[in-house]
Amino acid sequence: MPVSRKFIRFLPLACICGLLLLLGNWRSSQDRWSLNTYNEEAYLKPDAAAGKRAEIVEAFKHAWHAYERDAMGADEYHPLTHKGSNFSVDGGMGYTTCRLHRHDYARARRWVEQSLSFDKEGLFSTFETTIRVLGGLLSAFTLTQDKLYVLRAIELADRLLPAFDTNSGLPLPSVNLARRVGIPDSAAPEIISTAEAATLQLEFRYLAQLAQRPDFWRKSEKVMHVIHDLLDKAEGLTHLAPILMKHTKGLFVTSDIRLGSRGDSYYEYLLKQFLQTNRTEWLYREMYEKSVRSIHIRMEQRTYRQKMVFIAELHPGSLLNPKVIPKQDHLVCFFPGTLMLGAVTSGITRNRVTIPPKVEQMPINAQRDWYLGLELLETCMETHNTETGLAPEIVMFKMDEADAGKGHPERDWYIKGSKKGGPASYDARYMLRPDTAESLFIAWRLTHDSRYRKYAWDIFSAIQKHCRLKNGGYATVRDVDTVPVSLEDKQETFFLSETLKYLYLTFSDDSVLPLKGELIDIILTMGRLAHPLPVFKPNPGLMHAYA
């Protein structure tokens, strides 16, 4: 299997939980740049927000029903040709069963109970299967308390567990679910990405709690202790993890350091593991805060003209002097929300801050993170300043006069390899990604500043205009700076499980995934695919099962 294939988003799992939220059934009791150019009340009034929620629900139906009609159960959906495809000759394992109507949900539940099979030959990504399928089942249980989902989750986890049977404890990147064996990458037999290895823990730990299975906890937790020990001993890394590891030896491989692909969710899960067990595991708070401190020092950069902040990549040189690359993936736009969450949780040692937070309640390091989160989110929105209003997959930032002639003259960033009238580069595409929407949702919940609803609606409107297909579904835009758009025959699975979910939640009131006390406990521990998982106090014997 080519090394890139394991990173393909191959399970349209989108969450059985997901847009149960869209019904509100699971409740307790054109100038974007100036805030003066829009009516604030249009984004704050309950009736206005309800109308926008209804449009997002309709968009979900439009995408879901096309998938259900053409490709139910397939691993990927191709909306232009109205077909699905699978990554196993044994058939698909995916489902996009976040439902909007009770009868739709009932059909989806019946499919999970009667048709969803894990007894499949082929290579299934340990990482993708965990965050998509296992996480989807667990969040479905969280929202419904239906034990069917726990039973199916245990069945799947038992098939995934052999991936952890290595000398180092780092998992193998793939698993044969039918044979219950972990499988190395044929192109890079010793390698797994750091994000793949360290973005399994929320799901396995919660299932360990539900099923009282210390082995689920022990196997996934071991990964984090391997990484912690390596970073603690490594000179020059300062708790910034390279994106590649050797599962054969439990070591880092000399490779890029970045918050984009293969690195992103490692940093996200550091914070969320600390929050998941009600702030009882200070190891994760320490790892998170050390890594963020180093990001500020070594990766936080500004453009030479407009002083836009962004998170650069570090490419291998010497450990003490790596090469700084002014490149930022769209994936990095998860980080503003993570910084804001961390500022109101991880950095608070005594009293919890109020919501909306008062900056003076935060210690200095939390204030630093809060302000960077706010500013970085504005940068992410600036990359939507394109012909379509959609952000490209990757941008490069202008660092000096030598970059001035690249791309649009009024932008402080450009799309590498993209020329007006020429063929679209890979970097120029919009893949229906959720990362900016995720941070906008968190920013809205923490501040109730109407600008974040305005930004979210701008993104949704651009998706509706350029990505929506008349006969159902949504497709990838090949070049965000070319209108009319050219579309690629793919509706990414995260569009349903994350992008639309975050947009919907941004226009929901706070009783949907409610505030607990003064903090958003369930929101704080959403898994990688926006799967809500609860904060819990671990049962005795689980937390130290790795020892």
Please indicate whether residue 356 or residue 263 has the higher confidence score (pLDDT): 263
Taking CA 285 as the corner, what is the angle to CA 280 and CA 289, rounded to the nearest 5 degrees?
165
Phi-psi region of 15 (alpha: psi -120 to 50; beta: other; left: phi over 0): left
Burial of 496 (0-12, 13-18, 19+ CB in 10 A): buried
Q: Return d(Cα 515, Cα 58) in angstroms, integer.
A: 26
Residue type at position 444: W
> What is residue 320's predicted lDDT score, i.e. its pLDDT?
66
Assessment of whether the complete model's pTM goes beyond 0.85: yes
pLDDT at 10: 29
Asked if residue 532 has a cis previous peptide bond (ω within 30° of 0), the answer is no
Which CATH fold topology does 5-524 show? Glycosyltransferase (1.50.10)
Helix (H, G, I), strand (E, B) or coil at 246: strand
Angle between helices 201-211 and 147-160 (to 10 degrees): 120
What pLDDT is recorded for position 39? 57
Domain spans, the chain: 5-524
258 CB-contact burial (10 Å; exposed 0-12 / middle 13-18 / buried 19+): buried
Q: In what order do the strands lie in the sheet with 413-414?
A: 327-329, 394-397, 413-414
Average pLDDT over residues 385-397: 98
Distance CA 277, CA 149 (A): 21
The pLDDT tens digits of the residues spanning 35-85 come to: 334 456 566 666 789 999 999 999 999 998 999 899 987 878 999 999 998
User: How does the average pLDDT of the chain come out, rounded?
Assistant: 85
Q: How far apart are CA 488 and CA 467, in angstroms?
A: 10
State the Cα–Cα distance between residues 249 and 254, nearest whole angstrom: 14
The answer to whether residue 22 scores a pLDDT higher than 70 is: no
More confident residue, 80 or 514: 80
Question: Which residues are identified as catalytic?
Answer: 393
Residue bearing the bigger pLDDT, 4 or 370: 370
Where do we find the tokens 């404890």?
169
- Alpha helix locations (H) across 363-494? 364-382, 435-447, 450-466, 494
Provide the pLDDT for residue 28: 31
474-497 pLDDT tens trace: 999 999 999 999 999 999 988 988
What would the pLDDT profile of 285-315 be if each residue is shown by its tens digit? Answer: 999 999 999 999 999 999 999 999 999 999 9
> What is the rounded CA–CA span in Å between residue 1 and residue 156?
22
> Which position has the token pair 């998860």?
334
